Chains A and B, each alone.
Chain A
């Protein structure tokens, strides 16, 4: 009888170990950023940033402040205005699609990504993200997430997010973007 109880208790502990192992949230879940999800045209205020995404586009080629930018993929262009809320903050832009991170390019000085914004002093401009040429056919393309973060490491940070349906966007041959500047749109 006591031996039976011991076997049962042992099996129960092993099952418990399985339960603990497979129910412990991973670090992405525990330390993930805290997003404010808004629509295009809506203003989000979260953490160190306040911002509004005005438009998103896809293009094969971009002319950014007289610099021609080509890609083996396709450009995702986001036009937005952003400012700091309480202190100087950075501006980092990524597009996240099905667990894959596509960062904004640093190949142009005209873009807003990589700059800093002071509290209450908005800057308006664009960010350019290279995406694979066949992105519209890839899983998750209809629920791509444009994320604007105040820092390179966005863990446990407030970030602005917009969900974008890339399959609904036409791909232009060429778009022009103006250099990032101070002020609202």
Chain B
């Protein structure tokens, strides 16, 4: 078999390969290629107090407890309500300041029936404080880890002292947004879970 005949035998493969290469090159200036990373469906467990490094936050869940007097000193819980305090140490991994929890991108953590990804978290149902001095509603600057207290108003029946809750730590992939300026987050998912027993601070 001559070389020419051998090439002719492989011609469909060569042509297909050539088309793929040409298509790939042409696609680069018109938006490039999205890549898909395969991930396991098993969610790893993250120990309490151990930082999880994500694209938006590095976060460790340090403590979870119930309170019956709001730390702001004037908000009163309704009968049958309590405050679920979640203490987390967070470091902003983005190049701009961020609020520790906000509906504008994705929540850094999720808790069943309390903080659900994609569902609006009414601002009157939670407060955030900087643990070091009690500053209300702080933003965190890039690269400066600090401890934040989240106070969520919950039904007493929903969370009881001694209950074990699973806190999902979320992560996503940042991409440059097309329509609006800034970042859009894709592939938002629970990347690790912290299993923590709720303490009673009473």
Q: Is the pair B97, A21 in contact by a Cβ cutoff of 8 Å? A: no
Q: Which residues of B contact A27 (CB under 8 A)?
A: 181
**Beyond A20-B29, A71-B144, A72-B146, is A103–B130 a contact (Cβ under 8 Å)?**
no
Contact with B along A1-22 (1 / 0, CB 8 A): 0000000000000100110111
Cβ–Cβ < 8 Å partners of A18 in chain B:
28-29
The reply to whether B142 and A70 contact each other, CB–CB distance below 8 Å, is no
**Which of B130, B142, B144 is within 8 Å of A101, CB to CB?**
B142
| Contacting residue for B95 out of A71, A73, A101, A131, CB 8 A | A101
Residue in B closest to A14 when the chains form the complex, CB atoms: B26
CB 8 Å contact bits of B4-42 with A (1 = contact, 0 = none):
000000000000000000000110111000000000000
Hey, which chain B residues are within 8 Å of A70, CB to CB?
Answer: 132-133
CA distance A70 to B130 in the complex (A): 11
Is the contact region of chain B dominated by helix, strand, or loop, or is it mixed? loop
Report the separation of the CA atoms of residues A70 and B132 in the bound assembly, to the nearest whole angstrom. Answer: 8
- Give the residues from 129 to 166 in chain B that come closer than 8 angstroms, CB to CB, to chain A: 130, 132-133, 135, 138-139, 141-146
Given A14-B25, A14-B26, A18-B29 in contact, is the A102-B130 Cβ separation under 8 Å?
no
Residue from B132, B135, B141, B143 in contact with A103 in the complex, judged by beta carbons closer than 8 Å = B141
- Assess whether B145 is in contact with A102, with CB atoms less than 8 Å apart: no
Give CA–CA (A74, B138) in the complex, Å.
17
Complex CA distance for A100 and B140, rounded to whole angstroms:
13
B146 contacts across to A, CB distance below 8 A: 71-72
Complex contacts, A129 vs chain B, CB 8 Å: 141
**Which of A17, A22, A68, A130 is close to B30, meaning CB atoms less than 8 Å apart?**
A17
Complex interface residues of chain B between 88 and 132 (CB less than 8 A to chain A): 95-97, 130, 132
Interfacial chain B residues near A21, Cβ < 8 Å: 28-30
- Please tell me if the beta carbons of A69 and B133 are within 8 angstroms of each other in the complex: yes
Measured between alpha carbons, how far is A70 from B133 in the docked complex, in Å? 8
Given contacts A14-B25, A27-B181, A107-B130, contact A99 B95 (CB under 8 A): yes
Most buried by A among B25, B26, B130, B142: B142
What residues of chain A lie closer than 8 Å to B142, measured between beta carbons?
A: 100-102, 132
A160-175 contacts to B, CB under 8 A, are none
Distance (whole angstroms) from the CB of A30 to the closest CB of chain B: 11
Q: Which residues of B contact A (CB under 8 A)?
A: 25-26, 28-30, 95-97, 130, 132-133, 135, 138-139, 141-146, 181
| Contacts from A to B (Cβ < 8 Å) | 14, 17-18, 20-22, 27, 68-73, 99-103, 106-107, 129-133
A-B contact pairs, 9 of them (CB 8 A): A17-B30, A18-B28, A27-B181, A72-B145, A72-B146, A102-B97, A103-B139, A132-B142, A133-B144
